């Protein structure tokens, strides 16, 4: 058993690693959490986490820049159905296209575009930076036991773009920010969070624990 956090030069992964290690310990799971840029390690991992910070096109370029990584991810996640968690731009990369700065292709694992958030209220600030609650559209094991809805726990968001124009059943949760901001997606053995679970205190740690125990 191992968890691979994919390192492709996009930001600090130390905090994410510590959060996964802590929740593995708390859930009594004996799983090493590896931060890795090695496609073979990703291919062999039982669970895969793709983080991402910055602009979509830069992250995509970074991912392509690691020889064999896109192939290893595709084989493990789409071919062999390994549980997968995309975080922030790591979630966005699951989509068909990113429209930030320039149009660039994503991994195409879920339909849709990554487009600018357009709140109906012009006084709302972009980036959507801070704490928001989740409106969940259906049950999912990674959300088990987590209070959601307007009176539920909060998730920490930092982003200006989000998934749009997707199939309705892909969206697992949204957040209200003068429009419905896509907060979580799920399909097959994949989940994605636009927010940062490793920065979302109680909610985030519980979600990470649930992901480690998820058997899709």
Partner 1 sequence: MTFKVRIIPCLDVKDGRVVKGVQFVDLIDAGDPVEAAKAYDAAGADELTFLDITASSDDRRTMFDVVTRTAEACFMPLTVGGGVRTVEDIRALLVSGADKVSINTAAVNDRAFVGRAADKFGNQCIVVAIDAKRVSAAGEADRWEIFTHGGRKPTGIDAVAYAREVVALGAGEILLTSMDRDGTKSGFDLALTRAVADAVPVPVIASGGVGTLDHFVDGVAQGGATGVLAASVFHFGTFTIGEVKRHMQAAGLPIRMDGITG
Catalytic position from the list 21, 159, 196, 213: 196
| Separation of alpha carbons 182 and 192, rounded Å | 10
Which residue, among 12, 61, 69, 9, has the nearest Cα to 42 in the 3D structure?
A: 69
Burial of 65: CB neighbours in 10 Å, binned 0-12, 13-18, 19+: exposed
Q: Which is nearer to partner 1, 13 or 77 (CB)?
A: 13
Q: Which of residues 1-20 bind partner 1 (CB under 8 A)?
A: 11-12, 14-15, 18-19
Q: Is 88 among the residues known to form the active site?
A: yes
Residues binding partner 1: what is the number (CB under 8 A)?
38
| Separation of alpha carbons 123 and 95, rounded Å | 29
Q: Is 198 among the residues known to form the active site?
A: yes
The single residue listed with the structure tokens 């690693």 is: 17
Q: Which is nearer to partner 1, 76 or 177 (CB)?
A: 177
The single residue listed with the structure tokens 């989000």 is: 162
Per-residue x/- track, 112-141, partner 1 (CB under 8 A): ------------xxxxxxxxxx--------
Per-residue x/- track, 54-83, partner 1 (CB under 8 A): xx----------------------------
**Contact range with partner 1 by CB under 8 A, out of 25-33, 103-111, 154-162, 163-171:** 154-162
* Among the listed residues 175, 185, 191, 207, the single contact to partner 1 using CB under 8 A: 175
Catalytic position from the list 59, 100, 154, 198: 198
By the rule CB under 8 A, 29 interacts with partner 1 = no
Q: Which is nearer to partner 1, 139 or 151 (CB)?
A: 151
Q: Which is nearer to partner 1, 135 or 189 (CB)?
A: 135
Active site residues: 88, 196, 198
């Amino acid at each position: 058993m191992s968890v691979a956090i994919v390192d492709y030069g996009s930001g600090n992964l130390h905090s994410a690693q510590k959060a996964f290690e802590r929740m593995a310990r708390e859930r009594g799971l004996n799983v090493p959490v590896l931060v890795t840029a090695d496609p073979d390690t990703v291919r062999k991992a039982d669970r895969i986490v793709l983080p991402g910070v910055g602009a979509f096109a830069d992250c995509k370029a970074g991912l392509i820049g690691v020889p064999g990584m896109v192939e290893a991810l595709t084989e493990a996640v789409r071919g062999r159905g390994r549980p997968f968690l995309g975080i922030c731009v790591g979630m966005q990369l699951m989509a068909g296209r990113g429209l930030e700065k320039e149009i660039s292709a994503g991994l195409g694992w879920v339909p849709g575009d990554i487009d600018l958030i357009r709140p109906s209220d012009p006084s709302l600030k972009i980036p959507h930076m801070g704490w928001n609650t989740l409106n969940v559209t259906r049950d999912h094991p990674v959300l088990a036991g987590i209070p959601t809805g307007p009176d539920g726990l909060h998730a920490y968001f930092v982003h200006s773009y989000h998934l749009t124009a997707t199939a309705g059943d892909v969206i697992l949760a949204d957040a209200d920010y003068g429009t419905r901001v896509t907060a979580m997606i799920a399909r097959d053995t994949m989940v994605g969070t636009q927010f940062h679970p490793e920065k979302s205190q109680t909610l985030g740690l519980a979600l990470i624990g649930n992901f480690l125990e998820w058997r899709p």
